Amino acid sequence: MADRYLRFTHTAPGRFLTCRLGLPEPAALRRRTPEHPAFDGDLLHLTVGSPAVGAKELPAVLASTGLTVAAAAGAPTAVVLDATGVASTSALAGVHALLHPVVRSVATSGRIVVLSAPLSATDHHQAAAQQALEGFVRSLGKEIGGGRTVNLVRLTGAARTAESTLRFLLSPRSAYISGQTVEVADAPVTAPEDWSRPLTGRTAVVTGAARGIGAAVAEVLARDGARVVCLDVPQAQADLVRTADRLGATALPLDITSADAADRIAAAVPDGLGALIHNAGVTRDRRLANMPAERWSSVLDVNLAAVLDTTDALLKAGVMTNGGRIVATASIAGIAGNAGQTNYAASKAGIIGLVRSLAPRAAAEHGVTVNAVAPGFIETKMTAAVPLLIREAGRRMNSLAQAGLPQDVAETTSWLAHPASAPVNGQVVRVCGQSLLGA
């Protein structure tokens, strides 16, 4: 459903009224299009103190984004502040000194990325200063406006380990991600031969792919070169086949809760599986006092138990190839909770627990990363059915003052499925425009 309020605010009467009444003024976000897959313009590279991590490689990594790296710029498209060397409260003054003069000049829909170092276990002054950067980034994201985003990347190793992450965050693909911290481990990186089609030669299974977010994920993975298997329940077979045919993908009608689900997935990918995208999910909303057991169990079965069972079986069978990626779908509801969704929130919080526990073991034992996306209010047929006032509140209760699109979740999923994203593991990335819920 179209966001009529956003359109109205970009008319002359709309600008007048929103300004006079102090209403939200959402900016039209610049998202990736085939004609404009990346940003152009200047990238302002700033450094506080003496960088602690991989400083020599950082300029080359930043240049790989396609932006023009500069030490000074009048109206930069993006700003990257290397704060890895900040180790004391006094050093935080340098963060203010460098960003204060330029923050107003960042282009509309521009990007600010702050680089930080791991928190020291032995130097509590360094740990305090580096943790302070998270609060700074979250707050700046809430006040900067203009469709701009602000994120933090915590580097454990050299800057090259963060290339896929920086390319993503400094591009139109990350339009609906702000106020987030992404930890990048010191892990080996395999760069793709073609960064524009990084998933070439990989097979990806997307569950719940018949429509909505799942269909968008399948489309972006196919665009990025993957051979895609679109999976959904047999009841959605007509939509599933249409989606698969449109993308040149394979349709696999299958109830993910069935006992033979993992076996049938394995049979559909005889050459191995490079990416397993757990997107399938259901809602059966009702307050707990009015919720029968069937509504509880059906949601937990699809949203959590099936994810656990199929993941375990495919890993055990060796179907996931070394360098594979597992991306599961959590939700803001699993982080902040939501009235009438105790079942759904429990299932999505369970996904977060799965990711945090399995990620280090899957990487060590199978060479597979495990991450999650946590969407906020996304424009889908499901949210279009939400009552008007609740829908408007959902759209506006984030720093970007608008809902996200299925494309936003899909772009984030593709980044996590990227062959060069091996250092990104055990992360839960909120695709929510920096929702005010659970912030």
- pLDDT of 1 > 70? The answer is no
- pLDDT of 15 > 80? The answer is no
Whether the Cβ atoms of residue 327 and residue 358 lie closer than 8 Å to each other: no
Torsion of CA 265, 269, 272, 273, to 10 degrees: -60
pLDDT of residue 426: 98
Split at pLDDT 50, 70, 90, the class of 11 is confident
Report if residue 46 sits inside a domain: yes
Is residue 180 domain-shared with residue 214, that is, in the same domain? no
Is residue 304 domain-shared with residue 400, that is, in the same domain? yes
5 is catalytic: no
Is residue 264 domain-shared with residue 314, that is, in the same domain? yes
Is residue 417 domain-shared with residue 343, that is, in the same domain? yes
Q: Which two tokens stand for residue 339?
A: 């009235």
Q: What is the pTM of this model?
A: 0.95
Mean pLDDT value of segment 187-199: 95
The CATH number that applies at residue 83 is 3.40.50.720
- pLDDT of 383 > 90? The answer is no
Tell me: the pLDDT tens digits for 315-334?
Answer: 999 999 899 999 999 999 99
Tell me: the pLDDT tens digits for 163-175?
Answer: 999 999 999 999 9
Tell me: the pLDDT tens digits for 230-274?
Answer: 999 999 999 999 999 999 999 999 999 999 999 999 999 999 999
Report if residue 294 sits inside a domain: yes
Report if residue 299 sits inside a domain: yes
Report if residue 90 sits inside a domain: yes
Is residue 209 domain-shared with residue 180, that is, in the same domain? no
Is residue 161 domain-shared with residue 214, that is, in the same domain? no
Report if residue 251 sits inside a domain: yes
Mean pLDDT value of segment 293-316: 98
Q: Going edge to edge, which strands form the sheet with 149-155?
A: 68-70, 42-47, 78-82, 111-116, 149-155, 181-184
Is residue 265 domain-shared with residue 386, that is, in the same domain? yes
Mean pLDDT value of segment 8-17: 78
Q: Is 127 exposed, middle or buried (0-12, 13-18, 19+ CB in 10 A)?
A: middle
Report if residue 373 sits inside a domain: yes
Query: Which domain, by its residues, includes 228?
Result: 203-431
Is residue 176 domain-shared with residue 231, that is, in the same domain? no
CA distance 226 to 209: 15
**Mean pLDDT across the chain, nearest whole number?**
94
The three-state secondary structure class of 88 is: coil
Of residues 252 and 54, more confidence is placed in 252
Q: Which of 168, 344, 377, 415 is catalytic?
A: 344
Is residue 127 domain-shared with residue 239, that is, in the same domain? no
The number of distinct structural domains making up the chain is 2
- pLDDT of 141 > 80? The answer is yes
> Considering Cα of 50, then 55, then 59, then 62, what sign does the dihedral take?
negative
Is residue 284 domain-shared with residue 395, that is, in the same domain? yes
Report if residue 70 sits inside a domain: yes
Whether the Cβ atoms of residue 394 and residue 341 lie closer than 8 Å to each other: no
Task: State the CB neighbour count (10 A cutoff) for residue 63.
Answer: 13
Is residue 357 domain-shared with residue 326, that is, in the same domain? yes
- Asked which of 153, 184, 215 is the last residue of a domain, the reply is 184
In sequence order, what DSSP letters do the residues of 219-244 get, joined into one string?
Answer: HHHHHTT-EEEEEE-GGGHHHHHHHH
Report if residue 193 sits inside a domain: no
pLDDT of residue 439: 59
- pLDDT of 65 > 80? The answer is yes
Tell me what percent of the residues of the chain surpass a pLDDT of 90.
85
Is residue 407 domain-shared with residue 284, that is, in the same domain? yes
pLDDT of residue 54: 66
